[in-house]
Amino acid sequence: MIVGSGLAGYTVAREFRKLDPETPIQIISADHGGFYSKPMLSNALATGKTPISILNANAEKMAEQLKMTIRAHSRVTEIEPINKNVTLHGGEKLFYSQLILALGADPIRLPLEGDGADAILSVNDLDDYHQLCTVLKGKKDVVILGAGLIGCEFANDLAVAGYRVRVIDISAQPLGRLLPPSGGAYLQRRLEAIGVTFHLGAVTQSVERIHESLRLTLASGEIIQTDVLLSAIGLRPRTALADAAGITVNRGIAVSRSLQTRYADIYALGDCAEVEGRVLPFVMPIMHAARGLAATLAHTPTSVRYPAMPVLVKTPACPTVVSPPDAETQGEWQVEENEGGVKALFRNTEGNLVGYALLGTATKEKNVLAAQLPAIME
Ligand SMILES: Cc1cc2nc3c(=O)[nH]c(=O)nc-3n(C[C@H](O)[C@H](O)[C@H](O)COP(=O)(O)OP(=O)(O)OC[C@H]3O[C@@H](n4cnc5c(N)ncnc54)[C@H](O)[C@@H]3O)c2cc1C
C-alpha cells in the first residue's frame, strides 16, 4: 500500500512492477491520483500549458498501466502500525502488509497580518496550478514572496507570459542558499532584463484587501499594491500522520538508508522523508530512493546511494545549475565571472571541489564538473 500519488509514490510502483508483476499494489491518494510532472508547474504559463495538458495520465490509466488499484480523493487520517491498518477519512479501515508513505510536503505560509492573508496563493500541485490560472485571468500584476528556486522560476515564467512581476525576499540576493553573492547578482540582472523587479532585504508585514487588489505593507513602511500574491518561501515535509502513529519524525519522517521507519513494514520516501538526516525535495533523489525501495520490497534489501545530483533552475533568462555544498561544509567559493556567465566552484578546506553554481554559458561545464563532485551518500 502506497499513500500518495506524486512522483515518489508512482515511481516506487513503477519500479516495483518491473521486478514483481504479480503482488497487488494499491495507491491511496488525497488528490485526483493522476500522474504529471510537478517541475513543469513553474514554467508552464509562458508556453500556455493548461492543467489538462500537463496531466500525463489520469488515475484509471495509471491503474491499468501498472496493474494496480488506485483510491483517489481518499485521505488517510490514521495509521495503526501494530494492527497494520490505515483509516480513511470517513472511517473505513484498510489493511496492508507493507506501507509506503509518499506524502509530499506542505507549502510554508508566512504568518502575515491583515484580511488579505487568505488570498495568498502557492503552487505545489496541479490543483494549485489550476487555481493560479483561474486567478490570473484578466490580471496584469503579480507579487511573488520568496526569491528562492521556485520563486525565481515563477518570476521568469510570469514575466515571459506578459505579467508585471515583483519579487520580495528577506535575503539580500536571489537564490541566497544556493549561489554566492556574485551569482545571485548575475541572476538578478538577467531577470531584471526581462522585466522582473526585486525588493530584497525586505520583510513583508501585512496584506490587506483593497477592492479587487491586495496591498502589502513592508517593515520599511513601503506599500506595494498588486492583483495576485504568490508565496514561494519553501516547503515543510508532511509528518503529522507518521508522528501521530508513533513513527520517528525529525525534519521529515525519519528513515534509514533502506527507507525504513522504526517499524519494519513502514517505509517513507520523497518530499516527506528524511533519509539519514537529509531532506532532499527534488526529482533525482526520489528516482534513486524509489529504485532502492522497489528492490527492497522485491526481497533484495538495498541501501539508497545518492551520487552528486545538480539541480537545473528553470530560469531560461539565465540558465543556472547548482550543486550546493552541505550547510556544515567549511570552505570557500572561487568565482570566475564574464559577460556570458558565472562559474563558481566551492572547495572545502582540503581544496577539494564539493559544490558548484554555474550560470549562463558556464552551464556547459555542468556534466564534466558533476563527475568531479563527491557522492552525497556513498
Ligand atoms: C513548482 C515546483 C517546481 C519544481 N521544480 C523542480 C525541478 O525543476 N527539479 C527538481 O528536481 N525538483 C523540482 N521540484 C520538486 C519536485 O517536484 C518534488 O520533489 C516532487 O515532485 C515531490 O514528489 P512527492 O511524491 O514526494 O510529493 P507530492 O508530489 O507532493 O505527492 C504527495 C502525494 O501525497 C498525497 N497525500 C498527502 N497526504 C495524504 C494523506 N493523508 N492521505 C492520502 N494521500 C495523501 C497527495 O495528495 C499527493 O498525491 C519542484 C517542485 C515544485 C512545487
pLDDT along the chain (378 residues), means of 10: 98 98 98 98 97 97 98 98 98 98 97 95 98 97 98 98 98 96 98 98 97 96 98 98 98 98 97 96 97 98 96 98 92 95 97 97 97 94
314 domain-assigned: no
37 domain-assigned: yes
Residues in the ligand 1 pocket, defined by CB under 6 Å: 3-9, 28-31, 38-39, 41-42, 75-76, 102-104, 123-124, 150, 238, 241, 270-271, 281-284, 286, 311, 314
The enclosing domain of 49 has a CATH number of 3.50.50.60
pLDDT of residue 328: 87
Answer left, alpha or beta for residue 229, where phi above 0 means left and psi between -120 and 50 means alpha. beta
Interval between CA 289 and ligand 1 midpoint (Å): 14
Q: How far apart are CA 241 and CA 231, in angstroms?
A: 25
**Domain residues for 58?**
2-106+235-297
The enclosing domain of 342 has a CATH number of 3.30.390.120
Closest atom, ligand 1, to C-alpha of 33: 49
Amino acid found at 361: T
Closest atom, ligand 1, to C-alpha of 314: 8
Q: Are residues 100 and 148 in the same domain?
A: no
Amino acid found at 45: L
Last residue of a domain, one of 213, 231, 249: 231
Q: How far apart are CA 295 and CA 281, in angstroms?
A: 21
55 domain-assigned: yes
pLDDT of residue 208: 97
Q: Where are the alpha helices (DSSP H) in the chain?
A: 7-19, 51-54, 59-65, 126-136, 149-160, 181-193, 240-244, 283-297, 366-370
* Residue nearest (by alpha carbon) to ligand 1 atom 41: 76
Q: Are residues 262 and 334 in the same domain?
A: no
- Residue 312: phi and psi, rounded to 5, are -85, 120
Q: Are residues 124 and 210 in the same domain?
A: yes
pLDDT of residue 141: 98
Q: Are residues 117 and 217 in the same domain?
A: yes
pLDDT of residue 280: 95
The helix/strand/coil state of 359 is strand
Q: At what angle do helices 149-160 and 181-193 cross, to 10 degrees?
A: 20
291 domain-assigned: yes
Amino acid found at 158: L
Interval between CA 89 and ligand 1 midpoint (Å): 21
- Residue 335: phi and psi, rounded to 5, are -115, 130
260 domain-assigned: yes
Tell me how many domains the chain contains.
Answer: 3
pLDDT of residue 326: 87
Q: Are residues 131 and 226 in the same domain?
A: yes
